[in-house]
A and B are shown apart, each in its own frame.
Chain A
Amino acid sequence: MPYLVVARVFEKLAKTTKRLEKIDIMACLFRSVILLRPTELLAVVYLCCNQIAPPYVGLELGVGDQVIMKSLGESTGRSLNDIKSDFTKAGDLGVVAVASRSRQCTIFAPRMLTVQSVFSTLISVANSEGKQSMTQKVRLIQSLFVASRETEAKFIVRHLQGKLRIGVNEQTVLAALGRACAFTPPAKVPPVVDMSKELMNSEQMEELECHNTALIKKAVCELPNYELVIPALVRYGIDHLNEHCHISPECNTIVYVCVLCKMIYFKQGVPIKVMLAKPTKGIAEILERFKSMKFTLEFKYDGERAQIHILSDGTVKIFSRNAENATAKFPDLVNSIRKVKCNCKKKKKSHLKPDITSAIIDSEVVAYDRKEHKILPFQQLTTRKRKDVNEADVTVQVCVYAFDLLFINGQSLLSEPFEVRRSKMHQAFEPKQGEFAFAHYKDTTDPEEIQQFLDLAVEACCEGIMVKTLDIDATYEPAKRSRKWLKCKKDYLDGVGDTLDLVVMGAFHGTGKRTGTYGTYLLGCCNSENDNFQSLCKCATGFSDEQLKELTDVMKNHVVGKKPSEYETHMDCPIWFEPKIVWEIKCADLTISPVHCGGVGVVHESKGIGLRFPRLVRKRDDKSVDDATSTDQVIEMFQNQKHMQ
């Protein structure tokens, strides 16, 4: 299948801002693929999401502009300086790439780009490493440029940069897939368009679409790996998708070979997207929301989210909040869980009772002082090395606080209520002080006791408390920020509800004492609808002098020459950064601002939401810009605030 087909669709998608239109355009593409080239659906979906591998594999593109410009120079015979000056003018390498369609003729026209060839070249680019990697990358990218037609080069550049900028996020792609499956159901033999569906009215059709989308989303949440989900969809059809793609700590029970890159993911646990909690402001709000329901309180430990997979062959895998593989970061933790496995056989004391073969635990890993037996602040945990950690060198000990059990002995617990999941967890594991513990909890509805519990949590060096439904409406919902889980942080109780995780967009040079550093930063939230970043505030407080210097040094590496086109703001910063870094920010309240653009068009036709009195809480190296607070969340916070007044 020619890549040009996909590139033309991208071009069309970029021209509209209407979500429904985008879904329709993409659904048409998917329908054709399902009908004509079902085996290539995977590559097409990957290209649309601009992914090349499941997130937990850690294979990413993000090729630097320098490499792209070099490849462009080599393939068109233009000098690097010419390309650079064009780039400064246009501000978008993709546009430069198309405009650079060279004046140099070719001897023989290169073979046309296909979806498969583009995809596998992208994978090779991502995989190239070592001292020759630069030349290797340039050569691979060059081969794509040489063969590109029309606007193909533009989207190749964007694939490489890791930002497609066609205003499409993964959710849109899945919705389009759901729509495509409604009109052209895959796995029908012979593969013809189901004409009987034409008899349905549009309402029924819409319902079917939503139903399909939900099925696909469910599969992707439980098994966030398109290489498993899409082939299953093509092979078994939408109605049987969930029978074949469901939660499992052992992917090797599902036997699909990745046809595209022949990489082997078997024997590797597949992380489930974690369930998230909604912020609340106080006890009154909690009681209001859970009026007649049974609920429980839990300590909210201040550490890193960890999804621990225990596979039946004894392998232990740990995944972060973003479903990235963090196993290498916690060898001590892996070992203590593995030790447990050995101990089981000897019937010694262990966290794992002997009849456990496989399990998935949701937990928080916190820094722990094993001598004093107390939890250490989050900052201690961040001092641990992130890669190639050697167990002998670990200075900051950690303890796991397990709070949920998603899977045990081959059986998914996702649809069980929390009360059942929790009791199964308590039955299955045995805590060990300083290494493995259960999250401290209390079942109560008395406001007084909730307050006491919250104080207790704060005293125990926790962030606050979690409030969860126990029996009614208490299933585990991957990837959802659901009302079933509420979080109440200690700092919510004053000022605005939650802190915000904002993207660092730009900076102003410091003056006076701050000369030589960036004195003020421009921060913003992530708008997934438009696929851009909207500024929320200028922040100049909350950092110490050392921190100011440290942050400057870090941010210097992310400076770009020109305001990135995906930034929406009326501020004009002398320094702009690429969207890479996320900081946690606290503010007094939210207001309508003439210069900031949070949720512009929603709360006010031309003005956006801005933060008042923002201050830096801490860096969030564990969050990527896609995990930054979204515009929708900002709007919700703003509206909640209005209610309170």
Chain B
Amino acid sequence: MADAAEGRGAVRRRAGLRLWLSGGWLAALAAAALLAPWIAPHDPLAQDLFAGRLPPAWQAGADPAYLLGTDSLGRDVLSRVLHGARVALFVALVAGTLTALIGAALGLLAGFYRGWVDVAISRLVDIWMAFPPVLFAILLIAVLGTGLASIIVAIVVIDWTRFARVVRAEAMAQGAMDYVASARVAGMGRLRTLATEILPNCLPTIGVLLTLEMGIAVIVEAILSFVNLSISTDAPTWGGMIAEGRLSIHQAWWVLVFPLVALFLTVLAFGQLGEGLKDRFDPVLR
């Protein structure tokens, strides 16, 4: 017994650390993104051709005004990473939330009502998933034009099936539980049962998927910026910076590395946040 309790304690401590690290990084990033116009030391678009490829402040030949150095056009890397966070987090938040809302709603309906509702939604998911996602995305951008809105639409249109499938299975499993039969015996209507009994039991799953989806959205935005399908080329995005930095990797590694690290940590943090939140706040696991 003592062993089991200790084991659980250890799991909780680890879950707590994970939650604090990932939540801390994302909170700091969100604050930096919100405050970027005020805390960024330079205009992210301002070029200074006489200050091109300055190394980070702690290296020889650096200008202390440019903490993380400058790129080949003399733009401040730190300011661009900070402004890039605005784009990344905006896409993550909006695309993730919309995807979750649409996918989870369809998944809940299919899994709970079964019958023809399920047949219709499941067929739609099957057909949808037959398209290769990258091709699908590029096709959509080609039709919608480049820009943040198109990226968000593309992510939602492609990824809602992920939520729909997983949430459908979860709703089905929950629907077979006796507490649902009990709600019916008590005289509760179907829709109300779905909203007050089933949905709360699916929320942990939806939450984990949502944070994963936010990480995916950050990557997708970076990829599309990388291949120049996002917003205008000199606007500060992590993907755009990585694309540019790649060209001058031997002369100025910092242009590539800093946005890459920011991207990596952010995607990792989103994934860990979901798991951490679930472990911490799910009364069933607690």
A binds B: no
